[in-house]
Amino acid sequence: MYNVKSLKAEEFISDEEIRETLAYADANRENLEVIDRILAKAKEAKGLTHREASVLLACEIPEKIDEIFALAEQLKKDYYGNRIVLFAPLYLSNYCVNGCVYCPYHAKNKHIARKKLTQEEIVKEVMALQDMGHKRLAIEAGEDPVNNPIEYILECIHTIYSIKHKNGAIRRVNVNIAATTVENYRKLKEAEIGTYILFQETYHKESYEKLHPTGPKHDYAYHTEAMDRAMEGGIDDVGLGVLFGLELYRYEFAGLLMHAEHLEAVHGVGPHTISVPRIKHADDIDPSAFDNSISDDIFAKICALIRISVPYTGMIISTRESQEVRERVLPLGVSQISGASRTSVGGYVEPETEEDVTSAQFDVSDQRSLDEVVNWLMRLGYIPSFCTACYREGRTGDRFMSLCKNMQILNCCHPNALMTLKEYLEDYAGEDTRKLGMELIERELENIPNPKVKRIAAAHIHDIAEGKRDFRF
Ligand code: SAM
């Protein structure tokens, strides 16, 4: 039985409700009255229910699809401006006891190189990331209670935050590790993590169990209820996602929004971010073995619909996607992207070559350097942002959500983006990027409407040029 407030996975992600939603969407996919009513609601930027959004996903009327894309672009501008926040993943360990059939870390894969970073190796990886200009990381690890216990993860977080190298510092560590206990989430909170990210992979229970045949991840309820435990443990920024390609995308899309609705109904705060990974080639993994892959057109439509359904939730696109695809979906509502990512363990210090036995999780499509990504973003009219202030200034969870819902975030995020971009330009940028960025900052400063905010931002930017770096962005 469907119950958005239930704490039981099978009740808040009810299979019956998803099936009824898909039937309702099919029945109304050409119903202009219903579609226009939903679009009118979406225009108010109050978000859509999973049923409403599913109707738009099923709709194939070209003019309505154009409207969806235009609306997503508008909401993205209204809520996020032209900022794009940058981050990089840091793979700590690929030891894993699970049997996930789409992931090369699966326990039975004997030809992947198993690696786990020591604290000394982490220092080197983080320095390499800082030397590129990164300020925000997402740490990644396989699930292995012996090799990667929570104590190891906590030690790594502590090490990462403690490294001050030249002007560099990692100011926000997001964490993508397997579902765990309330007690462990509390420890992660105490370690001052940013967002706790856990992809559902698929909301379809039967498929989930087949795709995760062995190991602790096999337990659908334990995995699906993880975000409730994380919130109980005090983590108020959580990141959702499904791995598109495993199941039918319309089912996943409805499940994803139901999960967001559940978090909001129970904890008063929806997901901080939604990621939209698509399955990629990897060692021992052939993506064509999964027959639910989605085209770039559907992918773009999903991104646009996430933006209009949950306007206050950030959207993340990783380097799994090519430059071309990223360019297409950026205006549709993406707020964060990774840059210069390495998905191998230790890959920032020692990039793997063709001859190496790989330790990587998946092939990276966008292989450009961070400087190239920053340059590209600016040429497209975006402000690359290295800001991490929200979490450090206590603007998380429901406080962040209410700021975002009231569009106030533009007053904080916009100047912070300019200031952190300035830091990047001073400390790490190539000549062309630096020139481009300086011009952009001048222009954008002029456009800040609030005179007080403008004055403070200009003063900080001046201080950065003079070498000052200890701001709390
Ligand atoms: N072990 C943790 C867990 O179980 O959630 C950490 C996750 S893993 C390091 C990060 C994510 O990569 C997974 O949740 C999965 O969605 C994604 N992933 C795994 N195999 C992939 C593949 N072949 N292509 C693209 N993404 C993949």
| pLDDT for the residue numbered 286 | 86
Question: Which are the contacts of 305, defined by CB distance < 8 A and separation ≥ 6?
Answer: 53, 56, 57, 68, 72, 253
For residue 64, give both structure tokens: 């309505």
Ligand 1 site-directed mutation target among 143, 208, 361, most atoms within 8 Å of CB? 361
| pLDDT for the residue numbered 81 | 86
**Ligand 1 mean position to 102 CA, how many Å?**
8
Return the ligand 1 atom nearest residue 94 CA: 9
Whole-prediction pTM: 0.95
| pLDDT for the residue numbered 193 | 97
**Ligand 1 mean position to 103 CA, how many Å?**
6
Rounded CA-CA distance 258/252 in Å is 10
CB distance 243 to ligand 1 below 6 Å? yes
Kindly indicate the confidence band of residue 393, based on its pLDDT and cuts at 50, 70 and 90: low
Ligand 1 site-directed mutation target among 90, 97, 103, most atoms within 8 Å of CB? 103
Ligand 1 site-directed mutation target among 87, 112, 199, most atoms within 8 Å of CB? 199
Stretch among 24-33, 286-295, 342-351 having the lowest mean pLDDT: 286-295
CB distance 97 to ligand 1 below 6 Å? no
46 neighbors 242 (Cβ within 8 angstroms)? no
Higher per-residue confidence, 302 vs 471: 302
| pLDDT for the residue numbered 284 | 86
Examine the pLDDT at 391 and tell me if it is beyond 60. no
Examine the pLDDT at 302 and tell me if it is beyond 90. yes
Ligand 1 site-directed mutation target among 243, 276, 294, most atoms within 8 Å of CB? 243
**Ligand 1 mean position to 258 CA, how many Å?**
21
Examine the pLDDT at 330 and tell me if it is beyond 60. yes
Examine the pLDDT at 354 and tell me if it is beyond 80. no
CB distance 316 to ligand 1 below 6 Å? no
Inter-axis angle of helices 431-446 and 409-427, nearest 10 = 150
DSSP helix/strand/coil, 88:
strand
**Ligand 1 mean position to 429 CA, how many Å?**
31
**Ligand 1 mean position to 450 CA, how many Å?**
43
| Residue 137 DSSP code | E
| pLDDT for the residue numbered 242 | 97
Nearest to 52 by CA among 63, 43, 39: 39
Examine the pLDDT at 291 and tell me if it is beyond 70. yes
Kindly indicate the confidence band of residue 309, based on its pLDDT and cuts at 50, 70 and 90: very high
100 neighbors 217 (Cβ within 8 angstroms)? yes
**Ligand 1 mean position to 430 CA, how many Å?**
33
Cα 342 to Cα 128, 190, 332, 362, distances in angstroms: 12, 28, 26, 9
CB distance 103 to ligand 1 below 6 Å? yes
Closest protein CA for atom 19 of ligand 1:
103
CB distance 217 to ligand 1 below 6 Å? yes
Inter-axis angle of helices 409-427 and 397-405, nearest 10 = 110
**Ligand 1 mean position to 105 CA, how many Å?**
9
Examine the pLDDT at 106 and tell me if it is beyond 90. yes
Return the ligand 1 atom nearest residue 140 CA: 9
CB distance 201 to ligand 1 below 6 Å? yes
Mean pLDDT computed over 146-154: 98
Nearest to 134 by CA among 168, 162, 111, 173: 168
Phi, psi of 380 (to 5 degrees): -85, -5
pLDDT per position as a tens digit, 161-192: 999 999 999 999 999 999 999 999 999 999 99
pLDDT per position as a tens digit, 410-434: 677 888 899 999 999 999 999 999 9
**Ligand 1 mean position to 142 CA, how many Å?**
9
Mean pLDDT computed over 285-292: 84
For residue 378, give both structure tokens: 């600016």
**Ligand 1 mean position to 150 CA, how many Å?**
18
Mean pLDDT computed over 109-119: 94
**Ligand 1 mean position to 143 CA, how many Å?**
11
Amino acid at 229: R
Question: Percent of the chain beyond pLDDT 90?
Answer: 82
**Ligand 1 mean position to 178 CA, how many Å?**
10
Question: Percent of the chain beyond pLDDT 70?
Answer: 95
Mean of all residue pLDDT scores within the chain: 93
Q: How far is CA 369 from the centre of its chain?
A: 19
